Amino acid sequence: MRKIKLHQNLLISLSDKSDGNIDYRFSPKAEVKSNRHKIFKYLNLSTQVVEVEQIHGSQVSFIDQKTAIKFPGKQIPKSDGMVTNLTKSALMTRLADCIPIVLYDPQNHAVGLIHAGWRGAIQKIHLHAIIKMTNHFNSKPTKLKAWLGPALQSCCYTTNKPPTQRVLPEWQSFISQKNKTWHIDYPGSVIDSLINVGVNKTNIVNSNQCTGHDKKQWFSYQRHKKTNESDGRFVVIVKLL
């Protein structure tokens, strides 16, 4: 478990394989519960931890006190992102290849946490989150800070068929073909679209870590499909301080 520094008033923490799987679908319930408990204890989280279902969509949920109370230990259905200005709640997302994106508004002390899969990235879920932050907290894209965590980078995001987004003009710079294999740069595309809506390039931090490459550290759904490696998820947790 480690803490990421994006801003002094924001806690971002990241687990890895050494903290165990935290998704109830892939390990016995008691084991996942224990792994989660250790992480929450390490972060000193005696607070509500809010999660979404994660269906690879583009819906972003506004987390107010009512929602946070309604969903402790449950997942908000059909959603892949959350925005909040609650200081009592933490937001958590589960990962293995999809991109965790954190958006922080230091002026209005509000945060967004997004799980961006390939479908979510095409639908620009991160921009849906910015619109929600603008509507609810009066956030300005130019003031936002952004962090992209470990994800499947273009080295490992490959396909033998032409990718779906090949027809979309804004994706052209992020698709390449080497020896009949297509490579897709999802984090690159996300960063480009953040900049296009006014997020300052110098306010964007990309971890550049590839879940596909580093099998000791990260769970990877793609690697799990290709090898006998067991499936699992690591987490990103954010909390306003």
Q: What are the phi and psi torsion angles at 174 (to 5°)?
A: -115, 10
Site mask, Zn ion, residues 169-208, x = CB under 5 A? Answer: ----------------------------------------
Which region, judged by CB under 5 A, interacts with Zn ion, from 29-37, 52-60, 117-125, 152-160? Answer: 152-160
Q: From the DSSP assignment, how many helices (H) and strands (E) are in the chain?
A: 6, 15
For Zn ion, the closer CB: 122 or 210: 210
Q: Counting contacts by CB under 5 A, is residue 210 touching Zn ion?
A: yes
User: Count residues contacting Zn ion (CB under 5 A)?
Assistant: 6
Among 5, 87, 155, 229, the residue binding Zn ion under the rule CB under 5 A is: 155
Among 45, 156, 195, 205, the residue binding Zn ion under the rule CB under 5 A is: 156
Minimum distance of Zn ion from residue 187's CB (angstroms): 11
Instruction: Name residues whose C-beta falls within 8 Å of residue 157's C-beta, 6 or more positions apart in sequence.
Output: 183, 184, 185, 186, 212, 222
Output the DSSP codes for 15-37: --GGG----TTTS-HHHHHHHHH
Which region, judged by CB under 5 A, interacts with Zn ion, from 20-28, 137-145, 148-156, 165-173? Answer: 148-156
* Alpha carbons 179 and 144: distance in angstroms, whole number: 39
The residue assigned the tokens 């490696």 is 229
Which region, judged by CB under 5 A, interacts with Zn ion, from 18-26, 86-94, 145-153, 163-171? Answer: 145-153
| Collapsed DSSP state (helix, strand, coil) of residue 221 | helix
